[in-house]
Amino acid sequence: MPELAEVELSRRRWDVALNALVRAVRCAKPTARVLRDVQLDAVREALTGAALTHSEARGKQLAFRFGADRWLGVHLGMTGELRVEAPDHEPARYDHLVIETGAVALVFRDPRGFGRVRFEVGGDEPAWWSSLAPSVVGPAFTLAAVQGFLTRHARAPLKAVLLRQERFPGIGNWMADEILWRAALHPARPAGALDDAEVALLRRTVRRVARDSVTAIADDWSYPPSWLFAHRWGDGNPCPRCRTTLRRAPIGGRTTCWCPRCQTG
DNA sequence: TCCTATGTTGTATG
DNA sequence: ACATACAACATAGG
Q: Is the pLDDT of residue A196 over 80?
A: yes
Question: How many angstroms separate the CA atoms of A217 and A13, rounded?
Answer: 14
**pLDDT mean over A254-262:** 98
Position A123 scores a pLDDT of 79
What whole-number distance in Å separates Cα of residue A73 and Cα of residue A62? Answer: 6
Confidence class of residue A30 from pLDDT cuts 50, 70 and 90?
A: low
Q: Which of A101, A120, A113 is nearest to A29 (CA)?
A: A113
Please say if the pLDDT value at position A1 is more than 80.
no
User: What pLDDT band is residue A145 in, cutting at 50, 70 and 90?
Assistant: very high
Q: Is the pLDDT reported for residue A194 higher than 80?
A: yes
Active-site residue, from A13, A33, A164, A254: A254
Q: Indicate the average pLDDT of chain A.
A: 96
Is A29 among the catalytic positions? no
| 3-class DSSP state of A233 | coil
* DSSP symbol at A265: -
**DSSP code of A192?**
G
At residue A25, the pLDDT reads 97
Neighbours of A234 (CB within 10 A): 10
Establish whether A159 is a catalytic residue. no
Give the pLDDT confidence score for residue A84 in this predicted structure: 98
What is the spatial distance, in angstroms and rounded to an integer, between the CA atom of A190 and the C1' atom of C12? Answer: 35
Q: For chain A, first and last CA: distance in Å?
A: 29
Q: What is the pTM of this model?
A: 0.97
Q: Is the pLDDT of residue A31 over 80?
A: no
Q: What is the mean pLDDT of residues A149-160?
A: 98
- Residue A200's DSSP bridge partners are none
Those residues whose C-beta lies under 8 Å from the C-beta of residue A186, and which sit 6 or more positions away, are: A158, A180, A258, A263, A264, A265
C1' of C14 to CA of A85 (Å) = 29
Q: CB of residue A12 closer than 7 A to nucleic acid strand C? A: no
A256: which nucleotide lies closest, measuring CA to C1'? B6
A24 pLDDT higher than 70: yes
What is the DSSP pairing of strand A95-101 with strand A105-109? antiparallel
In the predicted model, is pLDDT for residue A139 greater than 80? yes
User: What whole-number distance in Å separates Cα of residue A231 and Cα of residue A223?
Assistant: 10
A54-97 pLDDT tens trace: 999 999 999 999 999 999 999 999 999 999 999 999 999 999 99
| pLDDT at residue A136 is higher than 70 | yes
Chain C nucleotides near the protein (CB, 7 A) = 2-7, 9-12
Nearest to A4 by CA among A184, A216, A201, A204: A216
Name the residue closest to the C1' of C4 by its CA.
A156
Asked if A7 contacts A62 with a C-beta cutoff of 8 angstroms, the reply is yes
Whole-number Å distance between alpha carbons of A41 and A45: 6
Helix, coil or strand: residue A18: coil
Q: Are A261 and A244 in contact (CB under 8 A)?
A: yes
Residue A169 falls in the annotated catalytic set: no
Evaluate if the CB of A220 falls below 7 Å from strand C: no
% pLDDT > 70, chain A: 99
Is the four-CA dihedral A109, A221, A217, A183 of positive or negative sign? positive
By C1' distance from the Cα of A160, the closest nucleotide is C4
CA of A255 vs C1' of B5, distance in Å? 10
C13 C1' to A11 CA distance, Å: 27
Among all strands, which nt has the closest C1' to A156 (CA)? C4
Q: CA gyration radius for chain A? A: 20
